[in-house]
Amino acid sequence: MRRRILLRRLTRREKLLLALFAVFAAVLTLALSAAAHLRPILTSLATARAANTVTRIVHAAVNETVYGDGVGYDRLISLEKDNEGHIVAVKSDMAEFNRLQSAVVDSVLERLSEVSTRELSIPVGSLTGSPLLAGRGPAIRVRMQSVGTPSAYFENAFTAAGINQTKHQIMLAVDVSVSILLPGFSTGTRVSNRFSVAETVIVGSVPENYTYFQSDHIADTAEEYVLNG
C-alpha cells in the first residue's frame, strides 16, 4: 500500500527519469556483457594486426639496411687458408656485424614510431564473425608501442652440402616486443623474424679455428658446431 502511495506521489518528470535510468542500466549491462564476450576476439584480431605490421616493418628495415646495402658473405666473413689451399680458420668482421645490428634496430624503431592508429584500427563488424559485416561499421582504435629496444643478432647454420662440403649460412634474427593498447585494457606480443643474410659452401674439412658469434653460446670449432648443432 505504501509503495503505491509513493509511486503516485512521483511527478511525471521523475517517472520519466526513472524509466530512462532503467533503460540506461539495461543497455549498460548488455554492453558490458557484449564487451566481455567480444574481448577475446578483439584481442586476437588486434594481436594479429599488430604482428603483421611489425613483420612488415622488420622486412622493410632488413631490405633497406642489409639487402639494399649489398651485404655479402665476403663482407662479413674471411677464410684463412694454408699453403695447400685448405681452409684453416673462419674469421668474422665483428665491427660490420655490430654496424648492421645497430642499423636494423634503428630502422625498426623509426618505422614503429610512424605507425598510425588508423592503420591498426579494427571495424566493429569484424568482431561479429560474419563475412557480410567484416570491415564494416565504426572503427575501434588500436595503438601499438614498442616495449624495450628491439633486438637484432646473428646466428650461424652449418649443414652438410655434399661429400666433403659444408654450407655455412649467416642468419639474422630480429625480435620485437610490442604493447597493444585497446579501449579499457592492453595486451602484448613478441614478433620474431629470421633472415638468411649470406651463405657459402666450404669445400674440404671443416676449419678447426672458428669463433661462433651467437650471443648466448661460443663454440671453439666449427666442427663442434656441426656435430652438436
Number of domains in the chain: 1
Ramachandran category for residue 81: left, alpha or beta (phi over 0 → left; psi -120 to 50 → alpha): beta
The average confidence (pLDDT) of the chain is: 75
Note whether residue 125 is domain-resident: yes
- On whether the CB atoms of residues 154 and 172 are closer than 8 A, the answer is yes
Note whether residue 1 is domain-resident: no
Note whether residue 3 is domain-resident: no
Residues 108-157 pLDDT 10s: 999 988 887 777 777 776 766 666 666 676 777 888 887 778 888 888 87
Note whether residue 195 is domain-resident: yes
Note whether residue 78 is domain-resident: yes
Q: Beta 165-182 vs 151-162: how paired, if at all? A: antiparallel
Helix, strand or coil for residue 34?
helix
Distance, CA of 28 to CA of 31 (rounded, Å): 5
Distance, CA of 82 to CA of 89 (rounded, Å): 9
**Which of the four pLDDT bands, split at 50, 70 and 90, describes residue 181?**
confident
By residue range, what is the domain housing residue 197?
12-228
Residues 75-113 pLDDT 10s: 888 877 777 777 777 777 888 888 889 999 999 999 988
Note whether residue 131 is domain-resident: yes
18-40 in b/e form (b: 16+ CB < 10 A) is: eeeeeeeeeeeeeeeeeeeebee
Note whether residue 38 is domain-resident: yes
